[in-house]
A and B are shown apart, each in its own frame.
Chain A
Amino acid sequence: MSTHYELSPEEDLEIGKARIAEAARLMPVTTHFVSNLVASVNANELHIGSALYLDHKSAYFLLLLSQAGAQITVLATIETVDEQLICALRDAGITVLANSSYDDVEVVDANSLLACKPDLVLDEGGRIFNKHTTAHETWGITEHLPAGSAALENSLLQSSHSLAVVDLNNINLKKTVDNTVGVGQSSVLAFLDITNLQLGGQRVLVHGYGCAGRGVARFSKALGAKVTVVDPDPVQLLDACFDGYHTAEDSHAASVADVVFLTGYKDTPVSLEWLEQLPNAACVCVVSDGAPQLPMTELEKQYPGETVRHLVTQYQLGAGQRINLIGNGLPIYTVAGQGTPIEVADITFALQAAAIERLVESHQNNETGLISLSDTLERDIAKLKLEHRDAAHRSGELQ
């Protein structure tokens, strides 16, 4: 979100409210599942902390919970500071912890949120979970990013945690809708928005064929790119082949790629040698929000970068070729876009509402560890989403 220096706080508030209202209009399933939550849980006794990426969609969800009587504390980190939304949330009585410095963002913020003693935290990438100790009063966590999901599975297996955790990232509906369609659309279009380049005829290399890889491959192909997929898992690679993509040896594919999407199929970054195979003018985008995908320290040390365009850093590599790093090596759909589309968020936050309901229940039953959601939940959410679409269709309502 760009800053609006020319706006007064009153204008920020008004626009923030209007942006949230826009999300609200397109999030009927979330609205429904929050009312389910409110019907079964005494929201007045609940303090919910949010470490979610703050945009108009998450703001709407948090506002709904607040209106239902829950106490809400929001962590808004420096990359996501959005004055309009912060004004709107504060106006509704929500506490917003906003950063004022780039230093130690993770450390300061994670602890400051935990210090507010929320019962539950809506976590992102394990940043709160990783700081949580038995000394903290928080008893429940939801996690919705692949990165956080991997971290907490390892941790929960190893120690006797007092936390109850719902891993939304393990839910199929979340994977297909959010991780594939949402991330795919937002990432590919963010690349185009940043570079003003064309995808028609370009050789796109999709590194990893998990959910995000499938999404970026699909949207790249739709826009005319020649897509090649590499993945160390032959099953995934065969799947990509049958989906109509070129499949290739990792090293060969790199040497002829115009655009690379790194979707995070492994925990280690690609090597500097791998990057050195890329041809001149290749663009490299990170899609995964998980483990680092690029050897940034080595890269910066060996080949100092030059900013040639907003969010484009150019490195001249050993063979003289220049490669363009898009989005500073961060997931491009968040640095340059507005996160995933509103319709996708509708489903994601419906799952969050169901997860909160389930966590409260598990707390009452003294359950800890990984908590699973109801088997029918995905079907219920999908059914409701389709019903709302059909209803809008029948009434001829322009959404």
Chain B
Amino acid sequence: VQNRHNIPDYEALVDDGKARIKWVEHHSPVMNSLVKKTVSDGSLTGKRIAVVVHLEAKTAFLATVLADAGAEVVAAGSNPRTTNGAVVAALRDRGINVVAQADGDMHSWEQELLAAADFEPEYIIDDGAELTLRMAKHRPELFARLKGVSEETTTGTARLHAMHAAGQLPFPALTANAARCKHLFDNRYGTGQTTLQAILRITNRQISGARFVVVGYGYVGRGIAEYARGMGARVGVVEIDPVRALEAHTDGHDVGTAKQLMPNAEFIVTAMGGMRGISRPEFAYRANVTTYKVGQRSVHVLSGGALVNIAGGSGHPVEIMDLTFSVQGLGAHYLINTAMEPGVHILPKSVDDSIAAARLACLGIVLDTVRDEQADNISDWIKATTS
């Protein structure tokens, strides 16, 4: 663990982390207005909340907002490759419990998650349901005492649904991912922009004219495909869902099987919310790139196969995470203040809408409202038919 005693210039590390968090704060208008106001009503006081999301500056800012509202927060990373050492130091300096460390591996990460479990959280803001799953398996007594989970991702939501279907979800879970203020922006624009950024930064390749294949055409796949095409790439889409495949085709992308599209691709991005592929690394020749020999071809895997935009870049844009973490922060507040049945729930539309409205207000954008004459006259027809 990095601390004052084994890092020569620990103060500089703390300052670096603080500056990173401050930059996020400056670009998070919704967190600063709506979320801070809502969560500071006293209902979070003394509540034990585990924040288990990629532990860099944006997540750290969420942790500080919850802590400032009175919660007892423990922070852990949701992937061993994405924890930022400076941010960890800054959070500890503020007195927030952090059980993660930078440059960890799968083993140390498992230990971190168990340490987060042993903090005995009542609520979890989870990513990929990583802590929820581990508490169910390794800490069943503590799992039984959990009061709620707010889940960040598509993958984690699918896992929670599976647990519920198996009768193993004894508490309410909110799927932040189902909120429109999350998936419409985070999945599509956030992942889209930063995935391309990270790929091009790591490889120093040109995107214009490149043949670029996206596997999966959900919100993430759509965002990546849209930005790649905007920058001049020829985009191919591999998708198993016929409706999404037709959508990709109509959006102007080439649609086909992996066998048809991948041999010609210069870039392949997986965006299926699923798991795994590829064999043993043959040699590593530059930071964040591992080359595999697959048949006659060399395939370069970026960022160890971890999420390229976070492990190989600096994660989602700050403004995007302002929305996502507003969903998470208000989601935690809603879980704490609302009695709900066990199962997977969606954040109410009114909360979702309030986030978008707060952001628009910060941008100075004013919306029209519906005028009376715009209402459908269906009620007149029904009245006429029934009378």
| A residues adjacent to B (C-beta < 8 A) | 15, 18-19, 21-22, 26, 56, 181-182, 185, 189, 192-193, 196-201, 219, 221-224, 281, 308-309, 312, 337-339, 341-344, 389, 393, 396-399
Contacts and interface: CB of A to CB of B under 8 A. Distances in A.
Contacts of A398: 262-263, 265-266, 297-299
A13 to B, nearest CB: 12
A185 B23 contact: no
A224 B285 contact: no
27 contacts: A15-B286, A21-B285, A22-B286, A185-B231, A189-B196, A189-B200, A193-B201, A193-B313, A196-B318, A197-B27, A197-B319, A222-B227, A222-B231, A223-B227, A223-B230, A223-B231, A224-B189, A281-B26, A338-B204, A341-B204, A342-B205, A344-B206, A389-B209, A397-B297, A398-B265, A398-B266, A398-B298
Interface residues of B, number: 44
B206 A343 contact: yes
Given A192-B197, A223-B230, A342-B205, A197 B264 contact: no
Nearest to A306: B19
Nearest to A336: B201
B285 A22 contact: yes
A26 B197 CA distance: 20
A396 B318 contact: no
A56 B204 CA distance: 10
Given A19-B285, A198-B320, A337 B193 contact: no
B208 A185 contact: yes
A201 B359 CA distance: 12
B19 A196 contact: no
A393 B23 CA distance: 44
A185 B200 contact: yes
B206 A309 contact: no
Interface string B171-210: 0000000000000000001100110110011001111110
Contacts of A21: 285
Nearest to A397: B297
A312 B315 CA distance: 18
A245 B209 CA distance: 22
B285 A15 contact: yes
Contact of B230 (A189, A198, A222, A338): A222
A198 B318 contact: yes
B230 A221 contact: yes
Contacts of B265: 398
Most chain B beta-carbon neighbours within 10 Å: one of A223, A337, A339: A223
Given A196-B314, A223-B227, A343 B205 contact: yes
A22 B196 CA distance: 20
Contacts of A399: 266
A219 B231 contact: yes
Most chain B beta-carbon neighbours within 10 Å: one of A198, A341, A343, A399: A198
Contacts of A22: 285-286
Contacts of A197: 27, 317-319
Given A309-B20, A309-B23, A393-B264, A185 B207 contact: yes
Query: Top 10 nearest A-B pairs by Cβ distance?
Result: A222-B230, A198-B317, A341-B206, A18-B285, A396-B263, A343-B206, A198-B319, A196-B314, A222-B231, A338-B204
B211 interface: yes
Contact of A342 (B196, B204, B263, B285): B204
B189 A198 contact: yes
